Amino acid sequence: MTDLADLSIADAGAGLRSGEFTARDLVDAAITRAAVTEAHLHAYLTLDQDRARAGADAADAAFAAGEDRGPLQGIPIALKDNMSTRGMETTAGSRILAGYVPPYDATVVAKLQEHHAVIMGKTNLDEYAMGSSTENSAFGPTRNPWDTDRVPGGSSGGSAAVVAAGSALAALGSDTGGSIRQPASLCGLVGVKPTYGVVSRYGLIAFASSLDQIGPFTRTVTDAATMLEAIAGFDIRDATSYRGDTPDISSLLDAGVAGMRIGIVKELSGDGIDPQVDQACAAMYKALADAGAVVSEVSLPASEYALSAYYLIAPAEASANLARFDGVRYGLRVDGETTEDMMAQTRAEGFGPEVTRRILLGTYALSAGYYDAFYGQAQKVRTLVRNDFAAAYEKVDVLVSPTSPTTAFPIGERTEDPLSMYYADVCTIASNLAGDPSGSVPIGLDDGGLPIGFQIMAPALHEAQLFRVAAEVERLAGFDARPALATSEVLPA
C-alpha cells in the first residue's frame, strides 16, 4: 500500500471519507516522513507537531459529528514562512524577524483553517522571498529531495521540498517573479500563480506589492485547483484584492485541448534554454498538437527586457515595503545613540546580503535624478510586456514555455554571481509583470534524474483555461516519478 504521506489530496480525501484512515493517521505519516527527511533537507523552519496533531483530531471530530467542510478537511498543509500565523513564529527567513510571533493570521491561513485543513508548520525561503534557490535564508539553505547536493529552487523552496518529500500533502508559496513555478519545476510538482488580486495578500509579508501572489504546490493538477478554490476570493482587508467574481478554476479540467489555440513563446526556446529542457518541452508541444490543439509559435518581443525591468521594479517596491523593519515594533533591535542610529544598525545587522543588495538597488532606482531613467523606464517596459501578451492572446488561448531554463543546479553554484541567479527567473517573470495566471506541470526527468517543468500562461482571470491545459499536459506526460528521499531507499540521517 502507498504510504499515506505520498497521497494526493483527492485520494487522501477519499480515504478519510470512506473511513480507511483518519486525519490523525495522515498527519502522523507526514510527521514520520519529516523525521527522516528533514535531516537531509532542512525544509521546515517550524514543524509544530502538537498543533498539527490537535488540528487533525479536530478534523476527525468534525467528520465524526457529520461535519464536512470540503476537500481540504484533515489534509496536512505547510505554509511558506512569510505568511503570518497567529501564535506561530513567522520569520520571512530573516534574522531581523527571528522570534516574531504574529498577533493575527493571514487571510489564506484563516481560510485553510475554516476548511479544517491541518497546518503542519512553516517552510524555509530565501530571505523576504528574494532569491531563486532558498540559499538566501538566514537559517541555512534547503536541499532538493531529488538530489540533496542541489537547490530546490526558490524563493518558496521549503514549500516545494516538503511536498516533494512527503512531509506535507500540499503547501502554499508566494510568487513575485517565479517563486512558486520555478521551485515546483525543480522539485517535480505542480505550482500555480493565480491572477494578481485573486488571492488575498493580507498577512503576507510584502516583497513587491504590484507583483506578489500566493498560490499552491501540489502533486496533481486537480489538487492545485482544489487548493486555489479554497484560498481565492475578495478580501476587504487587501486593498488590491480583485472585487469581481472569483474566476472559474476547475470546470474544464476534463475538457481536453481539442480545438484550443496554444502559442509557443518564441523567445523562450532554443538559445539560453538547457537542451534537455528544450527537447522535453518540444515533445510536449507536439503531444498537445497530436491531442487536437492548434499549436503555433508566438513572439513576445518585449519579453527579453522583462528581466531587466523586473530587477528595477521589484527592488524599488521592496525598498519601500521593507522600511517598516526598523527595530521599533517587532523583531531584532540593535542599540544606537539615537533612534536613527538604532534603525540603521538594526537593519544592517538584521538583513542578509541579497536583501541589503536589493534595498540599495531599489533606493537608488527611486532616488532623485535616476527615477526616470530606471524605475520610470521599467514601468513603461512593463506596459510593453503587457501589450505583447494582449496581442498574443488575440491569436491564442494560452501560451506555453519551459518553466525554468535549467533543471536544479548545484548548491553554491550561483551564490557569488547575482546576475546568474536572476537568470533562473527568465521564463517566469513576464507573467508577473502582466499580472496573469501561470503554472508549472512536471513533464519528465533529465539524464541526471532531475525534474523538468512545463509552463502554461493564460490571460488574466482565465484560470479555467490554464487548468484545462495543465490537466492535459499532466495526462500526456504521465509523470509519476518520486524522489529517492520519499521512497524506502532513504539512508538514515
Partner 1 sequence: MPVEIDIAKVAKLARLALSEEELVGYGAQLVDILEHAERVGALPTDGVTPTSHPLPMTNAFRLDEVRPSLDRDEVLEQAPQRDGEFFRVPRILGES
How far is C-alpha 452 from the chain's CA centre? 16
Angle between helices 463-477 and 221-231 (to 10 degrees): 160
Active-site residue identified among 179, 200, 241, 250? 179
76 and 25 in contact (C-beta within 8 Å)?
Answer: no
Task: Judge whether 18 counts as a catalytic residue.
Answer: no
Cβ within 8 Å of residue 185, ≥6 positions away: 153, 191, 402, 403, 404, 440, 442, 451, 452, 453, 455
Least distance between partner 1 and beta carbon 413 (Å)? 18
Grid cell listed for 238 = 487587501
Question: Which one, 257 or 466, has the nearer CB to partner 1?
Answer: 466
Least distance between partner 1 and beta carbon 16 (Å)? 34
Task: Judge whether 179 counts as a catalytic residue.
Answer: yes
Question: Which one, 197 or 247, has the nearer CB to partner 1?
Answer: 197
Tell me the CA distances in angstroms from 348 to 77, 340, 418, one per residue in order: 34, 12, 19
210 and 478 in contact (C-beta within 8 Å)?
Answer: no
Least distance between partner 1 and beta carbon 464 (Å)? 19
Spatial distance between the Cα atoms of 111 and 477, rounded to a whole number of angstroms: 32
Question: Which one, 339 or 487, has the nearer CB to partner 1?
Answer: 339
Least distance between partner 1 and beta carbon 48 (Å)? 19
178 sits in the region (left: phi over 0; alpha: psi -120 to 50; else beta) called: left
Tell me the CA distances in angstroms from 301 to 148, 261, 358, 430, one per residue in order: 37, 20, 27, 11
Question: Which one, 100 or 128, has the nearer CB to partner 1?
Answer: 100
Active-site residue identified among 8, 94, 155, 185? 155
Spatial distance between the Cα atoms of 454 and 179, rounded to a whole number of angstroms: 15
Least distance between partner 1 and beta carbon 278 (Å)? 24
What DSSP character marks residue 372?
I
Interacting residues toward partner 1 by CB under 8 A: 100-101, 103-104, 196-197, 210, 236, 239-243, 302, 305, 308-309, 311-312, 319, 323, 326-333, 335-345, 347-348, 351, 356-357, 359-361, 363-364, 367, 373-374, 376-384, 386, 418-419, 433-436, 460
Least distance between partner 1 and beta carbon 318 (Å)? 11
How far is C-alpha 318 from the chain's CA centre? 18
Strands of 213-218's sheet, edge to edge?
44-47, 118-123, 76-80, 170-175, 213-218, 190-193, 438-445, 451-457, 398-402, 261-265, 294-298
Least distance between partner 1 and beta carbon 299 (Å)? 15
Question: Which one, 232 or 332, has the nearer CB to partner 1?
Answer: 332
Task: Judge whether 193 counts as a catalytic residue.
Answer: no
Secondary structure of residue 121 in the 3-state scheme: strand
Grid cell listed for 341 = 542610529
Spatial distance between the Cα atoms of 366 and 363, rounded to a whole number of angstroms: 5
Cβ within 8 Å of residue 219, ≥6 positions away: 8, 163, 169, 170, 189, 190
Question: Which one, 265 or 302, has the nearer CB to partner 1?
Answer: 302
Residues annotated catalytic, as ranges = 80, 155, 179
